Structure 1
Amino acid sequence: MTRAVVVDDSHFMRTVISDILESGGIEVVAQATDGREAVSAVAEHEPDVVTMDVEMPEMNGIEAVAAIMDETPTPVLMLSAHTEKGAEATFEALDRGAIDVLAKPGGEVSTGISAHKDDLVDKVRSVARADVSAGTPSDSATTPIERDETYVENATVVIGASTGGPRVVESVLSGLPRSANLRVLIVQHMPDSFTDRFAKRLDGRTEYDVREARDGDRIGGGEALVARGDYHMAVSNYAKGRLRVRLTQDEQRHGVRPAIDVTMETAAKTISDPLTGVVLTGMGADGAVGIEAIKGAGGQTIAQDEATCSVFGIPARAIETGCVDEVLPADGVSGGILSTVRKPT
């Protein structure tokens, strides 16, 4: 049975979260009211997973995650409010080693979380399977490489990720030089209140112009779109090196929206120039069908390897299709992408 520690400064929220987890077959071995208590509880009980609030007295969630990763490395799921401040703090926690995030419906204290009990239980189980020893990609991947190389024209890259993905996506995009002039589409399974913040973060930390996708958006070389949370991002048109996307709230696929498969399949169908599909760490099978579609359209495909994945689910399912060209560690993915778009000498 999965064992959890629940951390929140609200007695009400601790009770609601604990009751939901217990009803879903997850044993709550301890509760903590702040970060200091959380660190002690994790050391004492050695749980499989921690649900962590962000804003707390004494020691906040960011500091608690850092301390847990230093002292008793354990998968942590951040539970954050639907606010800009909450999103920014959550990304700081992800930097410190947290695995994933789930938004609290309706604010800091709300019975609305009960309406999302299946999501909470599924997310906790997913995060509990994460390998915290996978760590972060090496610093070498954060510097754009091979600037003096020449690349094919009008190449597009579609990157898909889920659990443990934000840090890896950032590392991969950071390793792509602007001179490659790629069009990049990113599908990261993430709550709708966090994808805009994620796009802004990537925009500030990479050489690419990154924004959250809007319906009808068009991008050219050196630009990237992040799929908006709760919306599928489909490639609807491609002409003269520019592609257009359409956002829909069509039925979820693999229980998620946005789905990697939707973006990859429509890209494979619509884009006639060089196309590369990349699947990174995450739970589930989303992306496998998309990788097949890209390979079937003559594109090239890459999957992150098991050793560097927090959760080796999405890449594993893609590899099983037989349509993955290369399996690479997280800090080798950028170089792998560049090899697919480098002009032959």
Structure 2
Amino acid sequence: MKKIRVICVDDSALVRSLMVEIINSHPDLEVVATAPDPLVARELIKQHNPDVLTLDVEMPRMDGLDFLERLMRLRPMPVVMVSSLTERNSDVTIRALELGAVDFVTKPKLGLRDGLLEYSDLIADKIRAAAMSKPRQSMVPSSSEPRSRLVHHFSTTEKLILIGASTGGTEAIRQVLEPMPANSPAILITQHMPAGFTRSFVQRLDSLCAVQVHEAEHGQRVLPGHVYLAPGGIAHMKLARSGANYVIELEDSEPVNRHRPAVDVLFRSAAEVAGKNTVGVLLTGMGKDGAQGLLAMKQAGAVTFAQDEATSVVFGMPREALMIGAADEAVPLGEISAKLLASAGSYGHRV
């Protein structure tokens, strides 16, 4: 079995040794080198040609973001960021995903050694997903020029759009939301993210989009022109009814498909509560979360899509949906916004 070859870049000797211990404990992974800073890493990458790079956010001699930007321009490769959970680092991590990083893991605040060792399977999964990813095709920096927006002509305000995503999803979601007009149908999103990072993601999206983007709150009314993102790592997000209105319900229950929030929970609730008034799409991600929920939506009368393989960073979740017949169609990322609007009982054209 050919092992996935990894280089770990971190200024902490403890973190480097723990990452080696964690990664090498998995039979399909191996650390071929470690580096205390990007300048050393640059030479090691040339020497070892790794499959995946893990990269600390804050380091001496060269900032992790500066190095990532140069790396993705000159030698694109799968990168997993390693970030401490601070407000600044969450902002930087979201920017790193825009620049081309495939995913990220967080360092625990306390008990670094025990905390990281508890993350062993998660770190391994993220490295495997990164090794299977296509960062050259899908990961591009945000353009300084705004994308053209769709015009939404609608016959009802009842329609809802549901989106699920995981690995590679932050950039895919951005590309889906940016063309959406201010009078878009309400949009509910579950993206696999740990606690503390969705707020930065929401702020970034809200600054780029005509729709208003929120970190979802329990009891919040669901309105057209607004986007609701499930808070990372805290609770599942469900769609519910309160009289004539749709509302957000946050449920602090056990993980589903190893995730909280889970896409399946959101999609199943939409199937039960709104049925044919929904449109669902499953974007890039590793695993199968969301496929069964999307099937439930389709069986309830919803129009359903999956992102196509060519534009997915990791095709796991969309592939699973297509395999079980949950998605009506596989759609390239650049066409999903228009498809969602058209399927919400409306039509759209760009301006």
1:12 paired with 2:49, answer no
Distance 1:320 1:153, change over 3 A: same
What are the equivalent positions in structure 2 for 1:136-285 lying under 5 Å apart?
Answer: 136=139, 143=147, 145-147=149-151, 149-180=153-184, 182-230=185-233, 231-237=235-241, 239-240=243-244, 242-271=245-274, 274-285=277-288
Q: Distance in 1 between matches of 2:347 and 2:314?
A: 35
Q: Distance in 1 between matches of 2:267 and 2:146?
A: 25
Q: Distance in 2 between matches of 1:238 and 1:293?
A: 22
1:48 paired with 2:17, answer no
What letter is aligned with 1:85?
R
What secondary structure sits across from 1:339 in the alignment?
Answer: helix
Deviations along 1:111-154, one digit per CA (max 9) or x if unpaired, are 42122222112221122211122234796996353316345322
Q: Distance in 2 between matches of 1:48 and 1:74?
A: 7
What secondary structure sits across from 1:217 in the alignment?
Answer: coil
What secondary structure sits across from 1:70 in the alignment?
Answer: helix
Would the aligned equivalents of 1:49 and 1:128 in 2 still touch at CA under 8 Å?
yes
Q: Distance in 1 between matches of 2:242 and 2:314?
A: 33
Number of equivalences: 343
Q: Offset of 1:228 from its aligned partner?
A: 1.1
Q: Distance in 2 between matches of 1:332 and 1:40?
A: 40
Q: Offset of 1:217 from its aligned partner?
A: 2.1
1:298 paired with 2:301, answer yes
What letter is aligned with 1:265?
R
What secondary structure sits across from 2:119 in the alignment?
Answer: helix
Q: Distance in 1 between matches of 2:345 and 2:88?
A: 40
Would the aligned equivalents of 1:81 and 1:108 in 2 still touch at CA under 8 Å?
no
What letter is aligned with 2:163?
I
Counterpart position of 1:22: 24
What secondary structure sits across from 1:207 in the alignment?
Answer: coil
Q: Offset of 1:210 from its aligned partner?
A: 1.2
Unaligned runs of 5+ in 2: none
Q: Offset of 1:301 from its aligned partner?
A: 0.7
Q: Distance in 1 between matches of 2:318 and 2:118?
A: 31
What letter is aligned with 2:258?
G
Q: Distance in 2 between matches of 1:108 and 1:58?
A: 27
Distance 1:140 1:153, change over 3 A: farther
Q: Distance in 2 between matches of 1:51 and 1:264?
A: 33
Would the aligned equivalents of 2:282 and 2:307 in 1 still touch at CA under 8 Å?
yes
TM-score norm. by structure 2 comes to 0.92
CA RMSD of aligned residues (A): 2.2
Would the aligned equivalents of 2:292 and 2:326 in 1 still touch at CA under 8 Å?
no
What letter is aligned with 1:86?
N
Deviations along 1:49-69, one digit per CA (max 9) or x if unpaired, are 111100001111111211221
Would the aligned equivalents of 2:152 and 2:346 in 1 still touch at CA under 8 Å?
no
Q: Distance in 2 between matches of 1:41 and 1:48?
A: 12
Unaligned runs of 5+ in 1: none
Q: Distance in 2 between matches of 1:7 and 1:250?
A: 36
Counterpart position of 1:288: 291
Counterpart position of 2:61: 58
Q: Distance in 2 between matches of 1:310 and 1:161?
A: 11
TM-score norm. by structure 1 comes to 0.93
Distance 1:149 1:43, change over 3 A: farther
Distance 1:175 1:198, change over 3 A: same
Distance 1:108 1:167, change over 3 A: farther
Deviates more, 1:199-208 or 1:269-278: 269-278
What letter is aligned with 2:169?
G
What secondary structure sits across from 1:307 in the alignment?
Answer: coil
What letter is aligned with 1:209?
Q
Would the aligned equivalents of 2:275 and 2:302 in 1 still touch at CA under 8 Å?
no
Q: Offset of 1:343 from its aligned partner?
A: 3.5
Deviations along 1:141-190, one digit per CA (max 9) or x if unpaired, are 9635331634532211110110011011011011211123x111111111
Q: Offset of 1:283 from its aligned partner?
A: 0.4
Aligned with 1:135 (options 117, 130, 138): 138
Q: Percent identity?
A: 36
Distance 1:105 1:259, change over 3 A: same
Would the aligned equivalents of 1:141 and 1:331 in 2 still touch at CA under 8 Å?
no
